[in-house]
Structure 1
Amino acid sequence: MELPKGIPNDTKVLNLAENVLKEIPKNGFMDLPHLILLNLTGNSIDKPFEIPESVMMLHARGNQLQDIDLVMKNGVQLKTVDFEGNRMTAIGRDTFARCTQLTHV
């Protein structure tokens, strides 16, 4: 399955949990500048993707991600992230460097 087409660019909450998503286009969410909560829980996503800087909560548990550096690159507003149940074996020293608002991992 792929991302739905025509998501309004003023969307603030996007729940794509349990949708059998395998891949998110690299810039798949970048046209959503007001997005605050993104829920990708329980899919099969295995490649990193970008999020808009507006995202404050990212739920991506239960996927196949091995690397989250690209995902976290724009995480300047992130307060909560959940990557439990992915395939990461290590997290880089600078992965969360721009995430100065982060309180829950």
Structure 2
Amino acid sequence: MYICICNAITERQVKEAVDNGVSTMSDLQAQLGVATCCGACADTAVEYLPGGQYASEGSMFATPIARQPETVEMAANESQLRPARTVSYATLS
């Protein structure tokens, strides 16, 4: 899909630029020429930048999602997990 028709810039090109470190609209304009002609593509292009609606999930600038253990056994082997403390009702009273 074309993001910028004036300069024939595709979605793939914009995503690759972002994955390679482009993080601002000014960077996109300088590197690819996006939104340097009529400007109609600017609102769409900015959505591919980090934090945007279409930001690449695999981008090195994307916010990582915490990995969750897949099984009870994996959770038990996690080095960061500490045993739960047992509290009796008598302690709480």
Which band: TM-score by shorter chain? under 0.3
Which protein shows a greater Rg? 2
Determine which structure has the larger helix proportion and give its number.
2
Determine which structure has the larger strand proportion and give its number.
1
Give the TM-score, by structure 2 length: 0.26
